[in-house]
Copies of this chain bind each other. A is one copy, B any other.
Amino acid sequence: MAGGGRVKVGIIGSQFEAEIHAESFRILPDEAEVVAVASPTPGNAERLAKRYGIPRVFTDYRRMLAERDIEMITIAAPNHLHARMTIEAAEAGKHVVCEKPLCMTLEEADEMIETCRRRGVLLLYAEELYFTPKYVKAKRMADEGAFGKVYLVKQCEKHFGPHASWFWDVDRSGGGVFMDMGCHGIAFCYWFLGRPKVKSVLCHMGTYVHGDKTRGEDDSIAIIEFENGAKGVVEDSWARRGGMEDRIEVYGEGGVTYADLHMGNALPTYSEYGYGYAVEKAPTTKGWTWPVFEELWNYGFPQEMHHFARCVRGKETPLVTGEDGRVVQEVLYAGYRSAGIGARVDLPFRPAGVRKPIDLWFAAREGRA
């Protein structure tokens, strides 16, 4: 593989997340360029390619993996495909950026990590919260001692439901909002506190609003105990009206900070006539709205992809890898189990034969646990 020039990237996917990837590389273009995109539905990849000037288009991602010059693959496909795609990409000698959550099962996680290790490629876990500028500032202050010993970190993400239909299908997603967005909060607390071991998980969830669309939970709250004595609280919802919410709170014995990516950053705006774009999942641009600015930048996507490209070139050391994703995966298991039995689940927690995390909730509720 070429050791110089910009990293050549191929994207698997053509929807919401794939567009975020393409746009991120466009915003910070100096380290990487998207040269190919693959998506099975005819026309989808073409559309993305056209919008971003991506020269090569594939309906079969395996053919894209055969392209010699492509060095890095980003996976923006449904969760149940992550493992297979990662493994095939690694076998093809490509570095892999895998969207969150890492996969469906711990066995998959192990195999993804092992294959990448064996093939000498990077397994980069796309948790953008590690790059979210406002959250990075909070972490920097914490690391500088602003809050003394931190005993509680909270992250919350809420909106009124996902952008693509496969999220509602737990066989493809592996779970509901806890799987989809709780994975962010789990990763966040773990990282913020300096990657202490997870001791236990206590979780509550339910399907409150979207029971007609999904068997998955649409609202969840998880309390995570770490070995350093701190706790994380992770709140997520697909049942919150009015657009996106993404917030953190940090409590230490010596201080506290709050960061809000939406209401706490936006331009409070009233418009009789509407305008182009307010924010992800905003229901309208008329009346009062909370438009954000530089949305992707303020989540940290371009910085994340830029970092990953630099890792491929050996200029930086990965800040977030498959190992982080595996920790998240175990907490997802424990969380679903905890919600099902109504009790704390201690880690390590590696039940074998799980097909998807949410099954642990289903099984426990049905008394088969």
Binding site for B on A (CB under 8 A): 29-30, 133-134, 136-138, 140-141, 144-148, 151-152, 200, 202, 204, 206, 208-209, 219, 221, 223, 229, 231, 233, 237, 239-243, 251-259, 263-265, 267-276, 283-294, 297, 341-344
Contacts and interface: CB of A to CB of B under 8 A. Distances in A.
Given A231-B206, A239-B151, A343-B344, A268 B272 contact: no
A151 B231 contact: no
Given A136-B293, A151-B208, 8 more contacts: A134-B293, A137-B267, A145-B274, A241-B255, A254-B273, A257-B269, A258-B267, A288-B290
A344 B223 CA distance: 13
Contact of A253 (B208, B242, B288): B208
A270 B293 contact: no
A250 B242 CA distance: 13
Given A344-B342, A344-B343, A271 B293 contact: no
Most chain B Cβ neighbours within 10 Å, of A140, A202, A288? A288
10 contacts: A29-B30, A134-B293, A137-B293, A141-B271, A148-B272, A237-B251, A241-B256, A242-B270, A254-B271, A256-B269
Contact of A152 (B136, B219, B242, B259): B219
A273 B255 contact: yes
A136 B206 CA distance: 27
A347 B209 CA distance: 25
Contacts of A293: 133-134, 136-137
A269 B229 contact: no
A293 B297 CA distance: 12
Given A241-B255, A241-B256, A287 B284 contact: yes
A129 B284 CA distance: 28
A265 B134 CA distance: 9
A333 to B, nearest CB: 17
Given A29-B30, A270-B255, A275-B146, A288 B242 contact: yes
B269 A141 contact: yes
Given A204-B223, A342-B344, A343-B344, A259 B251 contact: no
Q: Which 5 A-B pairs have the closest CB atoms?
A: A242-B270, A30-B30, A342-B344, A343-B343, A137-B293
A289 B288 contact: yes
Given A253-B209, A293-B133, A276 B141 contact: yes
B256 A133 contact: no
A230 to B, nearest CB: 8
B288 A137 contact: no
